[in-house]
Amino acid sequence: MNGKVWLVGAGPGDPELLTLKAVKALNQAEIVMIDDLVNPEVLEHCPTARVIRVGKRGGCRSTPQEFIHRLMLRYARQGKCVVRLKGGDPCIFGRGSEEAEWLAERGIESELVNGITAGLAGATNCGIPLTLRGISRGVTLVTAHTQDDSSLNWQALAQTGTTLVVYMGVAKLADIREGLLAGGMSRAMPVAMIENASLPHQRECRSTLGQMQADAKAFELKSPAILVIGEVAAAAAVLPMARSA
């Protein structure tokens, strides 16, 4: 009898942001396949499980996706309870739906468990509301790193009128800046660049669209980081800082 694969979001890094459902899945796990950006502290919820590291990070040596697929399939066919533990949310730039579909095609049951995404947690920790009545009616989550390395339509995104939360954008700051400016976004548009969202060593750099590339260089901004672009990025006084007690 086949086992089950849980595709679990571990959240942005703060282990206290792990959901109860994620904890339940980890408690049952026999095999845990963990991404690089997952805080290892969450492994206290699966002390008897075998932990396999299957990191995938830009600019670093990564575990091939095909190998990850085969591992999940192998252990599930052995009847094991498998947790594929991902940073953030498995369905926000996390390949969760792709893996669930791949497993279903091979007769393996899976279940997706949401996690808090870094864009939300990082902004909240900086006192930034991603939506704010009278200022931002919506939020758009985008990744600057595409599978085929093609450029997004930043001009169109500039005209949405929503807060933009950009993942994996540190290496693409020049493209983002030029594309948004070409789309009519003001050079004075507030920008928050947030590194290591929700972790004790989270850092933030406040800037503007016109200045963000120079400020990021002076700040020595590094991945993992998210960008919040919109009027709300100047609204830090609206929310108290959401640091852990």
pLDDT digit string, tens, across residues 82-137: 999 999 999 999 999 999 999 999 999 999 999 999 999 999 999 999 999 999 99
65 pLDDT above the threshold of 60: yes
State mean pLDDT over 27-33: 98
The pLDDT-based confidence of 244 (bands split at 50, 70, 90) is very low
189 pLDDT above the threshold of 70: yes
Residues near 148 by beta carbon (within 8 Å), at least 6 away in sequence: none
| pLDDT score recorded for residue 238 | 47
| pLDDT score recorded for residue 54 | 94
Strand partners, 5: 82, 110
Judged by average pLDDT, the poorest of 62-66, 115-119, 211-215 is 62-66
- Would residue 175 show up in a list of annotated catalytic residues for this protein? no
Exposure letters 112-141 (e unless 16+ CB within 10 A, then b): bbbbbbbbbbbbbbbbbbbebeeebeebeb
Residues near 166 by beta carbon (within 8 Å), at least 6 away in sequence: 142, 143, 144, 176, 226, 227, 229
Strand partners, 9: 86
- Catalytic position from the list 33, 72, 168, 185: 168
- Catalytic position from the list 14, 33, 35, 72: 35
| pLDDT score recorded for residue 145 | 81
| Burial class of residue 245 in the structure, from the number of CB atoms within 10 Å of its CB (0-12 exposed, 13-18 middle, 19+ buried) | exposed
- Catalytic position from the list 14, 56, 89, 189: 56
- Would residue 56 show up in a list of annotated catalytic residues for this protein? yes
Q: What span, in angstroms and rounded, lies between the C-alpha atoms of 212 and 225?
A: 13
168 pLDDT above the threshold of 50: yes
Please tell me whether residue 131 adopts helix, strand or coil conformation. coil
- Would residue 4 show up in a list of annotated catalytic residues for this protein? no
Share of the chain above pLDDT 90, in %: 87
Judged by average pLDDT, the poorest of 111-125, 143-157, 185-199 is 143-157
Q: Which residue has the tokens 């976004």?
A: 185
State mean pLDDT over 172-180: 96
Q: What is the pTM of this model?
A: 0.90
